[in-house]
Structure 1
């Protein structure tokens, strides 16, 4: 009897086990393209571990599951528009796979994996991608058990949109590179700051279990969630673990490590003495700031706002280039005051507002407050324009 090490059948089985089990499915191309777009968005273009540039493709009898991972963030995306002839899995380059699917003109594609190679067939095309060892791909967790929070997708997406832009991008203070989640019995608040501005947005969960908790969620995890196509009234389940957050939509599950460290006591920087308050339409405010900023420079880098009972006057100047003045109506009856701001900081906040907003200041040297409804507050430091 031949030794199993010399048995060709044994070697074929071993190759299939290492590089992936035989798989054969027909998949809706647009749905597959959406899934690959989401997965490739978290893959690093450069990494010391090339295996992390791959996507694990798993076919079950009911769906196709695509999995991506970057050591801190994992994404499992489920595609239900499939017809599975043979379950199995393989591991292939995410960018290559996505490029082929994205450029295809077919409504559906046939995927077949065998002997470590993924075959992608369309009406007039046949691509082959050589796979990697499936066993080398790290496990990516799914949400198991009862979620700690259940939130409407549109409400959570609004909170993410209203906070992530204010998080620090490059900072030695690791904690403020993420967004603080303050979970209370009937309220969830997201807070972000980079030391020069602070954004806070709140939402009432559809369901909340367990006690109060504060965690710092990496910005990348939240922006990944915000890019997913989720119906506004869909429910997003959230599970908070000691060092991890898991967020599940009807089609995808995102898992991410949490940031260590302590988020600053942000209540201390929210002014309590802003006695000059005006009301203005957010779109008009945004337009005025953007136009005034057209003649600001890196040196001046600011827009001056003069507030009086006659309304607002936005002005800026660029030495040897010109000046800008924009007048805007607003509801205000207090004393005159002038204050300067970095226009980018105002524009980014006003873009996530709609309808009437209130703007509060104390004087030209103190932070200003922008409010939009009961759920959004934004604090921004002034700049010296003297």
Structure 2
């Protein structure tokens, strides 16, 4: 039986092992640390794998063990596995790996934008530094003083640490609050990114690449409140109408050396054209692939497994029905007194799935990133009529307003 290797099989990556096994492949896990970070611990299912190899820091030794298994792939399961997978894959399976020389650009968000600049692509204006004085000089030089800014860690996920600074706001406080602090992926922020704030419509393009060819699995549109996710809608595949978005995404993936595997690319469509927010060279997280299957009949997990098992991969997709993920939000911190009212979402006409994680008596914090939102829960709506989705979305927000938090 052929072997498929998944590095850090957390978040949506936990869907790969059962899918590989169903396709007749033997799943093997590699973990980059002895235990997953707290934000991923609940999604780890070691029992799904025939073997679990804990990486001890010696890349050559881990690669030698994997090479002995003769795997068909070495892929990251989620963001924290990207760097180790990028180190191992060229040593174990050079015909199915991303460009090694560009590995840093696939993980470090400062280097990511620099790679696009080197490729001649338009990018967000930014500086990545450990010096507030250097950042201040850059802000003045770019004419961004008094304008909204984004301050964030260069290596994080789930909008962890992403801070919107309003016009004239105190960006230095956010900068110093992130610098040298440990983020939710258990990494120390040795630098901080300061970026211009992009105005426009944010899209995510999920892809699966093989032999340097990028296929589109789904296109979604985000709604956000500042930096907090509000909802996500699947969009029809329209290679003509979305040509600018798709051409830019493909060029960005090329600039980052993406040649094999899943990628999750967030792009802001601004008045000046598309601008990369960031690319995660792994599956779309939060269990999105299982809902994508409902919307399109396909997903990044399915394409990954199908290709590794010798199947064909389409270039695009067909949207089968309207679908929206609604992320639960609270605007203040405190103890929830009536969380049970959120279970009423199951009665909505377009209800497809929900995960309400908060219980009466739980202490919650005001939603400030995706991890905090997922700690509350989310609702998946699916229906042929867009008006029904809109009405049910409004009903969910009304239920949130009825929550008693004190």
Which of the five TM-score ranges fits, normalised by the shorter chain? under 0.3
Bigger-Rg structure (1/2): 1
TM-score, normalised with respect to structure 1: 0.23
Which TM-score applies when normalising by structure 2?
0.22
Larger helix share, 1 or 2: 2
Name whichever structure is richer in strand by fraction: 1
